[in-house]
Structure 1
Amino acid sequence: MPFIGLGLHFFIALLFAIHALRTGRQMYWLLILFSFPLLGSLVYFVVEYLPSSRLERRGRIAARAIQKNLDPGRDVRDAQREFDLPPTAHNQMRLAGALLAAGQTAQAVEQYEACLRGPFAGDAEVILGAARAHVANGQPANAIGLLEPLQEKQPGFRPDDVGLVLAGAYAAVGRQDQAGAKYESVVERFGGIEARAELALWALANGQDALAQRELKEIEHARRHMTAHTRSLHQALFKRLDAAVQRP
C-alpha cells in the first residue's frame, strides 16, 4: 500500500511537471516536484496552477464585477497607491491591469510597455495584458506583434484567452480569414460563451450568415439555462450581440 501511495504522488507530480513545461514555468519547479512529490505538488497547485485556472479566473471576475458596481474607481486608486509606495514591477503590472479594466487604455498601454522593458518582459501574463491594452487602444498590429511570438513559444498558456485577443486583432487589421479561423479554433477547443459570441459577431460583420445562425442558436440555448448571476457577468457581451443581430 505505501508503494501505491508513493506512485500516486509521483504521478501527480508528473502531471504538474508536464503542465509546467507546456506553460513555460521556471525549470526549478521540476526539481521541487520530483524532490518533494507530495509537498511540491501541493505548492505548485496553489502557487501556479490554481491562479491560472479557468475556475479561479471566473471567481475573480465575479468578485471584480461586484466591487466595480459598488466603487468603480477603487481598483485604479488602490493600484496607484501601491505603485507609488513603492513603484515595483509587480505593482506596475497591477496598475496597468486596473487602468485597462477602467477603460483608461492609453495609460494602460504606457504602464504595460514599461513592464515589458523591466524584469517581467517575458512574463506571459504581462504580454497578454499588454496585447489587450493595445487592442482596446486601437493598436491591433502591436497586439499581433506580441501574441504571435507568445503563442509560438508557449502554446499552452491560456490558449482560449490568447486566441480570442489575437482573433480580434486580426479582424481589426483586416485579416479576416485568419480572424475567422482563430475564432472557430477557440470555439472548437473550448466552446465558451465568450468565444461563441465573438465568433457570431465576426460572422455577422462578415456576411457569414450560416455560421452566425449556428452560433446564435448555441448561445440562445446557453442563455436560457444560465443563472441570473451568470447572465449579469456577460451583460456587456450580450448587449453587443443583441445590437449586432438587430442591426439591418
Structure 2
Amino acid sequence: MMAILGVAHILIALFFAVHAIRSGQQLYWVVILFMFPALGSVVYFFAIYLPNSKLDHGARKVVKAAAKSLDPGRDLREARQAYEFTPTAQNQMRLASALLAAGNAEEAASTYEACLQGPFSGDLEIRFGAAQAALACGRAAAAVAHLQAIRSKDERFRPEQVLLLLAQALAAAGRQDEARAAFEDVLARHNSFSVQAEFAIWAAGVGDAGKANQLYEELQRTMSRWASHTRELNQPLVRRLNAAMSSLNR
C-alpha cells in the first residue's frame, strides 16, 4: 500500500511539473515538486493550478485567497523581478499594484507617482492606484486631488470605486461635511454592500448612531442571505464593520 501511495505521489507531482513547465511557471516549482512530491503537489494545486482552472467567479476569488495564504509574497516577488529584469512602464505599473496589494503603501505611492511622470501619465487606472496608495499612507489631500482629477476627466471610470474612495479620502482629510455628501451620493448611485458598510463605518466613527444603525440593520439582512464563500470573501470588511458598531454602542 505504501509503495502504491508513493508511486501515486510521484505521478501527481510529475503531472504538476509538466503543467508548471508548459504554463511558464518559475522553475523552483519543479524542484519543490520532486523534492517533496506530496506536500509540493498540494501547495502547487492551491497556489498555481486551481486559480488558473475554469471556476465560477466567486469560487475563483476564494481559491486565489487560499493561494495567497500559501505564498503571500509571490505576486510582489515576481513583479519586482520582472521590473528589475525589464524596467518597462508596464512592469513598473505591475510593481506598483503588487506593492499596494502587499501593504507597502509608501513604496507603492512613490512607484505610482513615478508611473504618472512617464508615457502613461493620463492613464486613469494608474491615477486610481495612486489615490489608493496615497490614502493608505496618510496623504489624504493627495488622494482627493487624484480622485477629483479622475472625475473631471471621465465620470464613467470605475464610478462606484472612485466615489467611495473619494468619500473616504475626504473623511481622512477632515472634510466631514463633504464626506457625508459624497457617501450619500455614492449610496444613491450604487447601493452595494461595500458602500453601505463603509458609510456605516464612517457614520459610527463620527458618532452618527442613527445613520450607522439604519445601515447596519440593512447590512445584517443582506448577510443573513449570504452563501459561505461570500461570507468568507467579505470577512475583512465585516470585521471592520462590527468593530465600528461595537465602539459606537459602548
The ranges of structure 1 where at least 4 consecutive aligned residues each deviate by more than 6 angstroms after the TM superposition are 56-60
Q: For 2:150, give the aligned amino acid.
A: L
Alignment of 1:71-86 (within 5 A): 71-86=71-86
Does the CA-based 8 Å contact 2:167-2:180 persist in structure 1?
Answer: yes
- For 1:28, the equivalent position in structure 2 comes to none
- For 2:119, the equivalent position in structure 1 comes to 119
Q: For 2:102, give the aligned amino acid.
A: A
- For 2:131, the equivalent position in structure 1 comes to 131
Q: Pick the structure with greater CA Rg.
A: 2
Does the CA-based 8 Å contact 2:128-2:147 persist in structure 1?
Answer: yes
Deviation at 1:67, TM superposition (A): 2.5
Change (3 A) 1:120 1:66: farther
CA distance in 2, matches of 1:57, 1:88: 31
Alignment of 1:52-67 (within 5 A): 62=62, 64-67=64-67
CA distance in 2, matches of 1:241, 1:79: 32
1:218 counterpart = 2:222: no
> Please, which runs of 5 or more residues in structure 1 have no aligned partner?
1-55
- For 2:191, the equivalent position in structure 1 comes to 191
1:90 counterpart = 2:99: no
CA distance in 2, matches of 1:58, 1:92: 29
Q: For 2:235, give the aligned amino acid.
A: Q
Deviation at 1:245, TM superposition (A): 1.1
CA distance in 2, matches of 1:57, 1:177: 37
CA distance in 2, matches of 1:246, 1:155: 36
Deviation at 1:95, TM superposition (A): 0.6
SS in structure 1 of the partner of residue 83 of structure 2: helix
Deviation at 1:119, TM superposition (A): 1.0
Q: For 1:213, give the aligned amino acid.
A: N
- For 2:154, the equivalent position in structure 1 comes to 154
SS in structure 1 of the partner of residue 174 of structure 2: coil
Query: Which stretch shifts more, 179-188 or 131-140?
Result: 179-188
CA distance in 2, matches of 1:114, 1:195: 30
Deviation at 1:76, TM superposition (A): 0.3
SS in structure 1 of the partner of residue 221 of structure 2: helix
Change (3 A) 1:99 1:160: same
Number of matched pairs: 193
Q: For 1:84, give the aligned amino acid.
A: E
> Please, which runs of 5 or more residues in structure 2 have no aligned partner?
1-55
State the TM-score, normalized to the length of structure 2: 0.73
CA distance in 2, matches of 1:208, 1:149: 30
Query: Which stretch shifts more, 128-137 or 204-213?
Result: 204-213
Alignment of 1:167-182 (within 5 A): 167-182=167-182
Change (3 A) 1:58 1:173: farther
SS in structure 1 of the partner of residue 156 of structure 2: coil
Q: For 1:109, give the aligned amino acid.
A: A
Change (3 A) 1:191 1:60: farther
SS in structure 2 of the partner of residue 81 of structure 1: helix
- For 1:237, the equivalent position in structure 2 comes to 237
Change (3 A) 1:59 1:218: same
CA distance in 1, matches of 2:182, 2:242: 22
Alignment of 1:8-19 (within 5 A): none
Change (3 A) 1:94 1:173: same
Deviation at 1:57, TM superposition (A): 9.0
Deviation at 1:171, TM superposition (A): 0.2
CA distance in 2, matches of 1:158, 1:90: 20
